[in-house]
Structure 1
């Protein structure tokens, strides 16, 4: 396995999500109880003060709504907390302060170092959370069932990059994927890259399609999934991004993947796919990125490309393509990257 390439595949969706900007129209003066909870949290966490850029600046003599990484609503309640890249290594499981922030809607703990600790079940206490990012934070073990009770979640990111051949691996066994998402009907973005889901196509596809009607982004890179992709997935008509790279799908490329009316990005590299690529997949009017690289595909030629397609990136490297490129590829006015090295 080419780990550097795999690592970059993971970093693309993670960094896009990580650098999202939180917008708050207005914030009030910090409520006294909210400041107390934040200071309790700071005191309970183990972190490297020489590397911290947010926690280290929190001081009892200032308004907590002005603290770096803290967002408040107009009433002075803490609704957003960004503690990514804060070199936190422990103490979260006993953080009464964190789990007492009942108004919290957004929490980002990405890229910390929790040393293979399990995700604390007490995250389920944060019932108002809409955004939870624990990606690459050093958590390991079974994902707790309590996350399934966070029914207001819109974005859930538990991704991890397997740099060390299995270290810091999260599992979805009990609960499994179906149990995790069964109550998360508001979810629009799901990132479980590197999480050991170990499910067959009919299991993981039906789990998603039956519980997540509003899902727009699905990223399950290197999640130990097997195929074939079940047609029930097409019930998720809001899907715009599908990333299933580095799984063992072992099937032909399903034609029904062209049936998502809002599809922008489809990435299925290194998935054990075989056979011919359905013509319709090249002609989805909304698609901007199509990556089917490193699969045992046998394509005699590319189809004709109609005008007004949105395709920016087409990657078909290592797919045994041996045909000609039609002149109609000139219709792809937005095309900025094409890879056809075999």
Structure 2
């Protein structure tokens, strides 16, 4: 007699559980909260951009949930990610912008726009939850504000400025002050930023404050040497890119002690002296660019079995000697540029050795065209 009563009761519990499941799902994905959508719409209204070039802002429509808009990421209805890179924005970013009311932002990308050579607003400090900030080639200029140093949760910071005639500057506050609180930082990109530092001050600033740093990219930053050994305290460094600075000295052997180094680039740095052979033999190193250092000397060493090098540029250097037969141990080698390396042995036998390596190794996708050598013999 009780059986007919249990079926509807079971159905009721089932429907309640189902509703609860849908409710929880909607909370996790989240409809955009009203204040968040309002701030984004105000931001769009304040920005000048070319509609024919925009792929995100042009599609922000009031009647559509902002969490569904291109470039917007939400969590529980709150905007946690905003990607407006390459949106052809062409006006200044005002300090009163509604952007700075998006206090839940964790990732912000404004790269590739033109903020009209304006200064980076100090109001960025309001976005205290940021872990990723990319303002690269966004048309900012002048002194980078001290307020950036208060974004203590930053893991990635990209302020690269390689496409502008008006530089970004780190002078006052200096680099040491700017990074002193950024202990969580793993990736730092300052390419093209004019860093005011005497000698190795910049090395000491980084090594004393950024223990977790993995990527250091500071090309064309007006840096000088010497390259201080304190850099070695950044033991997690995997990528070091310092092209276009003026070190006017040798590469220290301590670079061979970076146990996680995969990429090292010193293109056009005024390097002199003999390059340490041990660096070539780093078991983790995949990319090495020493090109355009005409006073840098050295020899190609014997390469260990299963060497890791994939790309090697020695263009316009003073490297000399012969190509070791052990170059065949570099099974992953895809680029080897020895152009204008006039002290290297250019004999027929040497180039035959190299030719045979390319023709018979299983990594036969390497193109001889990559050598661009003016004296390439007919073989």
| Secondary structure of residue in 1 paired with 2:211 | coil
Q: 1:191-210 residue pairs with structure 2 within 5 A? A: 191-210=189-208
| Secondary structure of residue in 1 paired with 2:82 | strand
Question: 1:75-131, CA deviations, whole angstroms, 9 ceiling, x for partnerless residues?
Answer: 111000000111112242144320000100000000101111000000111000010
Q: Is 1:303 the equivalent of 2:301?
A: yes
Q: 1:41-60 residue pairs with structure 2 within 5 A? A: 41-60=43-62
Q: 1:95-244 residue pairs with structure 2 within 5 A? A: 95-162=96-163, 167-244=165-242
8 Å Cα contact 2:302-2:327 kept in structure 1: yes
8 Å Cα contact 2:137-2:163 kept in structure 1: no
From 326, 329, 332, the counterpart of 2:330: 332
From 228, 232, 244, the counterpart of 1:246: 244
Query: What is the deviation of 1:56?
Result: 1.4
What CA distance in whole angstroms lies between the structure 2 residues aligned with 1:213 and 1:77?
32
Query: What is the deviation of 1:150?
Result: 0.2
Q: Larger Rg: 1 or 2? A: 2
8 Å Cα contact 1:45-1:95 kept in structure 2: no
Query: What is the deviation of 1:241?
Result: 0.1
Query: What is the deviation of 1:59?
Result: 1.2
What CA distance in whole angstroms lies between the structure 1 residues aligned with 2:268 and 2:29?
47
Q: What is the TM-score when the length of structure 1 is the normalising length?
A: 0.89
8 Å Cα contact 1:156-1:189 kept in structure 2: yes
Question: 1:112-160, CA deviations, whole angstroms, 9 ceiling, x for partnerless residues?
Answer: 0111100000011100001000000000000000000000000000001
What CA distance in whole angstroms lies between the structure 2 residues aligned with 1:193 and 1:209?
18
Which stretch of structure 1 is more off in the superposition, 223-232 or 306-315?
Answer: 306-315
What CA distance in whole angstroms lies between the structure 2 residues aligned with 1:49 and 1:288?
42
Q: Which stretches of structure 1, 4 residues or longer, exceed 6 Å deviation after superposition?
A: none
Using CA pairs under 8 Å that are at least 6 residues apart, name the structure with larger relative contact order, 1 or 2: 1
Which stretch of structure 1 is more off in the superposition, 281-290 or 54-63?
Answer: 54-63
Describe the shift of the 1:47–1:225 C-alpha distance in structure 2 as closer, same or farther (beyond 3 A). Answer: same
Quote the residue 2:36 is aligned against: 34
What CA distance in whole angstroms lies between the structure 2 residues aligned with 1:162 and 1:224?
16
Quote the residue 2:274 is aligned against: 276
Question: 1:10-67, CA deviations, whole angstroms, 9 ceiling, x for partnerless residues?
Answer: xxxxxxxxxxxxxxxx732111111011111111222222322211111111100000
What CA distance in whole angstroms lies between the structure 1 residues aligned with 2:232 and 2:317?
25
Unaligned runs of 5+ in 2: 1-27, 342-379
